[in-house]
Structure 1
Amino acid sequence: MPNTNEDSTAAEAKVILVPPPPLPPPPQLPLLPPTVTRHKFFKKVAENSDPSVGGCEELKKMIKNRQSRFSGELKWLLYNQYVPSLIQEGPQCGLVALWMAGRLLNMAHEVPLHSIVEAAVSRGFTVQGEMFSAANMAVLAKEVFGCRSELCTGGMDGENKGRLLQQLTSGLPVLIPYDEDFNHEPCQRGGHRAHWAVISGVLFGIKCGSFNPDPDIPGLYYPSSDSPSLEDLNIQETYLVAKQGKSLRYQLWEYDCISRSNGQLLHIDPKRSSDGNVYVVPSGGVKAGLCGQIVLLQPMDI
């Protein structure tokens, strides 16, 4: 009889295991445009930054570095509330400024930026993220935050200046459209560089008063419980503390400089009007929508 065990062993010896073919390489993902990569990088940095980046300590350092510009004969009184930083994607400066302002409205839950964008688009206030109407901004803020919003027209001087400063010394935000220079500071380009910023604080140069001194910076003070009221401060100089969607850091602007910029927003940039994109511009153009206008936001329970 044939030896079945030997035959089986021989048959097994003839079996050659062929390895499976290698897997095809994964498809190469398209590279993100540099601008998109940059936006995502800065957004990630902003999300993970601590108060030393775009925070109150950095603001103090900025004031210290600028002390040579400030009069040594004045006391410098700082009111400011921290707001987070966020880098905009595309022409979202107004919506990003609104998102930052939400931090100061004592909301139970943070409203994400995408919800603000969706609300603005659904209301027909924007297509690309642009906001050329301060009136629409006030309506949008009330809708997404459930807050009070007040539209002030007629410029940043006179009665509006008093209302704006009272708002800031109460720890509440102000949204201001202005023309943005290459360094993000206010300039005058007739509206061609229209941009939005959130104002979170104010720095006053005053002659006298009882305040809490900063432990590190001579000449810098903070309000105390027995500080005089805003009406009784002998204010000599005023700077606004600002953030906007193209930088993580605070900026400090002379009041008159931002006021002049806000009051000359007249026309949309001709390059934008011919770039092939659709923008929502109110009847009357940029002048009717932004010029001399600011938006004050307050929690509903105030």
Structure 2
Amino acid sequence: MIPPPEHPNFPDLAFPTPPSSLQAPTPPPPPLPPPAPVLGAAPPHVFGLEKSRLLKEALEKAGRIPSCKEDVKRLLKLQKDRFRSDLRWILFCADLPSLIQEGPQCGLVALCMAGPLLLPPNGVPLERIVQVALEQGYTAHGEMFSAANMGTLAQEVLGCHAELLCGGLGSPNRDRVLWHLVAGHPLLIPYDEDFNHEPCQRRGHKAHWAVCAGVLLGVPDVPSLGYAEDPELPGLFHPVPSTARQPPLLPEEGSLGATYLLSKQGMSWHYQLWDYDQVRDSNLQLTDFSPSRAADGREYVVPAGGVRAGLCGQVLLLTPQAQAIA
């Protein structure tokens, strides 16, 4: 018989030979990986939040952020030929924070800027407004093509009263809008944005949102009670705070160059003065969805009836809840 082969000399894998004193010590095992994150809804991405913070830091380093009155006076000095010299001017305005948008979040940014006037002292963070808009299905990427949804969102996040006006900024809504601004309440307006951020007419292809925080009225005479002339700009008057005053005489509709809206939007931290009729005309022609957006591969939340049904001729009057009840 052929003897069986000898067993090969394998090392004992179960009990290895202990290392000699000349060998390096065995390194410790690597640390365990961190636990997997708990699955859940990711926080909403807020376009432009970092830019807004950087902007705020830059403005604070440069000095105090100019108030609405200071910005308007700057505009009046730079563009003095634009304003009629045969009129005296009364400025009603309220200060708004500065936010710079990135992406299609102009409406949500405009609402956030209006927040301190509706829920003092600081309003609601932009992250919260974005989160609620996403949860309620009002938006997919920050866009807001429904003024009605914008009003509902404002009431949900700011606890304010929102009044949706249809039919545009002209009669019969014109006086209602102007008295709202004279009272110090914000107004949200969809319009077509030109290259310099002013209203233009592009049939809704450049649809944008702005918040109006005041009005500049050109009048033949200033009421005698409750107004003070600006020490730097003769002919410009401001209402005296905490003082009874006579209501101004509103310029008649069709009076050219006598009514300007003090506006702010998410593409610039400066206030702008827009001719009332120019804003009215831009708001009334929002009819079509932008072809460039239609071709960008994204899905947007657009109401039944499109841009015409959601934005055309519509504005939002926002009032703090306490004052709305009163």
- Name which of structure 1's ranges 59-68 and 37-46 shifts more when overlaid on structure 2: 37-46
Measured in 1, the distance between the counterparts of 2:251 and 2:277 equals 17
Q: Give the TM-score taking structure 2 as reference length.
A: 0.77
Cα offset for 1:256?
0.2
Look up the SS of the partner of 2:189 in the other structure: strand
2:235 counterpart of 1:219 = yes
Q: Residue type of the partner of 1:95?
A: L
- Alignment root-mean-square deviation, CA: 2.1
Change (3 A) 1:47 1:301: farther
Question: AA paired with 1:203?
Answer: L
Please state if 1:44 is matched with 2:57: no
Q: 1:265 to 1:54 in 2, by over 3 A?
A: farther
Cα distance in structure 2, aligned partners of 1:38 and 1:297: 24
Aligned mates of 1:153, 1:55 — CA distance in 2: 28
- Is the Cα contact below 8 Å between 1:46 and 1:248 reproduced in 2? no
Indicate whether 1:287 and 2:295 are aligned. Answer: no
Match of residue 137, structure 1, among 114, 130, 150:
150
1:262 aligns with 2:272: no
> For 1:153-302, what aligned pairs fall within 5 Å after superposition?
153-209=166-222, 210=224, 211-224=227-240, 225=243, 227-230=245-248, 232-234=249-251, 236=255, 237-302=258-323
Q: Please report the TM-score for the alignment, with normalisation by the length of structure 1.
A: 0.83
Q: Which amino acid aligns with 2:198?
A: E
Stretch deviating more after TM superposition (290-299 or 219-228): 219-228
Change (3 A) 1:287 1:143: same
1:149-203 Cα distance to aligned partner (Å, 9 max, x none): 1111011111211111111000000000000001000000000000000000100
Aligned to 2:127: 114
2:55 aligned partner, one-letter code = V
Distance in 2 between residues matched to 1:105 and 1:133, nearest whole Å:
21
The number of residues matched between the two structures is 266
1:85 — aligned with what? 98
CA distance in structure 2 between the partners assigned to 1:264 and 1:74 by the alignment: 30
Give distance in 2, aligned partners of 1:121 and 1:189.
28
Runs of 4+ in 1 over 4 A off after TM superposition: 36-39, 224-227, 233-236
1:58 to 71, 82, 98: 71
Distance 1:54 1:216, change over 3 A: closer
CA shift in 2, pair 1:174/1:143, >3 Å? same
Counterpart of 1:84 in 2: which secondary structure? coil
Query: Aligned AA for 1:297?
Result: L
Q: How far apart in 1 are the matches of 2:135 and 2:49?
A: 24
The C-alpha deviation readout for 1:70-102, integer Å capped at 9, x for no partner, is 122110110000001100121000000000011
Structure 1 residues without counterparts, runs of 5 or longer: 1-35
For 2:86, the aligned partner's letter is E
CA–CA separation in structure 1 for the residues paired with 2:181 and 2:98: 18
SS at match of 1:49: helix
Deviation at 1:38, TM superposition (A): 8.4
In the TM superposition, residue 54 of structure 1 has moved relative to its aligned partner by 6.5
Corresponding letter in the other structure for 1:241: L
Question: Per-residue CA shift, 1:205-230, capped at 9, x if unaligned?
Answer: 10012331001112111124464324
In the alignment, residue 234 of structure 2 is paired with which amino acid? P
Q: Which has the higher helix share?
A: 1
